[in-house]
Structure 1
Amino acid sequence: MKTYVLKLTQNLPISLDEAWDFFSSPHNLARITPPEMNFIVTSVYNGDAKMYPGMIITYKVSPVLGIPLRWMTEITHVQEGKYFVDEQRFGPYALWHHQHHFKEIPGGVEMTDLLHYAIPFGPIGRLTNAVMVGKKVRKVFEFRKKAVKDIFGVYKG
């Protein structure tokens, strides 16, 4: 199984607490996901609850041709204000391990995403990633970068 890695860093002009509160809430995911993906959190989830290891979050998402898919992730690691990890338990990937790191910097927060993912189906999955999935994943993160900038403003360091 071929594993792909995507690492992205973005500086935000907000406090560490503000960044943590926003990104650790599943309900904000739709705000930073391209609208054509029809991203909906379907979990019975108390929005005021703190994220914790073992938390299960379910979604509906339409990443390709408007076809809805169900996706389930588990929050496997949390260090409040520093990082959390979500891992797919059910969904379109053979592997999805997404680390979200936050670090205070002068004038804001440095946010780093480290994503490891794999596509099922061996050689067909590798071809699918080269032709479509890899581009789509990068496009989602590019949209997110712009959406976050629109929400919080431009980091001026």
Structure 2
Amino acid sequence: MKLYKIETVQHINTTIEECWDFFSSPKNLQTITPENMSFIIQDFDGKRMYPGQIITYTLKPLLGIKISWVTEITHVKDNSYFIDSQLFGPYKLWHHKHFFEPTENGVKMTDIVHYALPFGYLGRLMNRLIVQDKLKTIFGYRRNKVEELFNSKV
């Protein structure tokens, strides 16, 4: 199994509390996901993030094909980090760590995603041709949306 890694860092002009409040609420996932992916939360208990929480959603990541995705929040430390892992979905493995660190000017947010695709060689080829660029586009959209929401305030 070939394991891939994406790491992004973004500085957010807000307090750790405001940052945590936004990112630890699963309902805000839709806000930071590109609209053309048709991201819809199907099942979520409405509670603030906690270990063991299950979130199910549908999205259309490629060619308008609707897929289901189920993630579990596996670890949470308030105002510091949370980790989600795919239980069911398009990846053979998806493990996403979200870190939040107070700084002099706000918050340093770091995302680290480890992922693997199914289908061996075909999966590696799909990553090279489609998946890695799609993920870069999604994280780029997220970066821009976070800039708009937090860093464009005067």
TM-score range, shorter chain: over 0.9
Residue 154 (structure 1) shift: 4.7
Question: Which secondary structure state, in structure 1, belongs to the residue aligned with residue 43 of structure 2?
Answer: coil
Q: Please tell me whether the aligned partners of residues 12 and 154 of structure 1 are also in contact (alpha carbons under 8 angstroms).
A: no
2:9 corresponding residue in structure 1: 9
Aligned equivalents of 2:152 and 2:9: distance in 1?
14
Question: Which secondary structure state, in structure 2, belongs to the residue aligned with residue 45 of structure 1?
Answer: coil
For the pair 1:129 / 2:127, whether they are aligned, the reply is yes
Q: Which runs of 5+ in 2 are unaligned?
A: none
Equivalent residues in 2 for 1:17-56, closer than 5 Å: 17-46=17-46, 49-56=47-54
Alignment: residue pair count: 154
Once the two structures are superposed, residues 2-23 of structure 1 have per-residue CA deviations (whole angstroms, 9 ceiling, x without a partner) of 0000110000000001111101
Aligned equivalents of 1:25 and 1:66: distance in 2?
27
Once the two structures are superposed, residues 104-124 of structure 1 have per-residue CA deviations (whole angstroms, 9 ceiling, x without a partner) of 001200000000000100000
Once the two structures are superposed, residues 127-153 of structure 1 have per-residue CA deviations (whole angstroms, 9 ceiling, x without a partner) of 000000010011100000000001112
Equivalent residues in 2 for 1:144-155, closer than 5 Å: 144-154=142-152
Aligned equivalents of 1:42 and 1:34: distance in 2?
17
Q: Please tell me whether the aligned partners of residues 103 and 109 of structure 1 are also in contact (alpha carbons under 8 angstroms).
A: yes
2:95 corresponding residue in structure 1: 97
CA RMSD in angstroms, aligned pairs only = 1.3
- The aligned amino acid for 2:119 is F
- The aligned amino acid for 1:72 is V
Tell me the TM-score normalised to structure 2 length: 0.97
Tell me the TM-score normalised to structure 1 length: 0.95
Between stretches 36-45 and 105-114, larger displacement belongs to: 36-45
Question: Which secondary structure state, in structure 2, belongs to the residue aligned with residue 32 of structure 1?
Answer: coil
Aligned equivalents of 2:132 and 2:21: distance in 1?
29
- The aligned amino acid for 2:4 is Y
Q: Which runs of 5+ in 1 are unaligned?
A: none
Q: Please tell me whether the aligned partners of residues 93 and 117 of structure 1 are also in contact (alpha carbons under 8 angstroms).
A: yes
- The aligned amino acid for 2:64 is G
2:118 corresponding residue in structure 1: 120
- The aligned amino acid for 1:129 is N
Q: 1:154 to 1:110 in 2, by over 3 A?
A: farther
- The aligned amino acid for 2:28 is N
- The aligned amino acid for 1:7 is E
Q: Percent identity?
A: 48
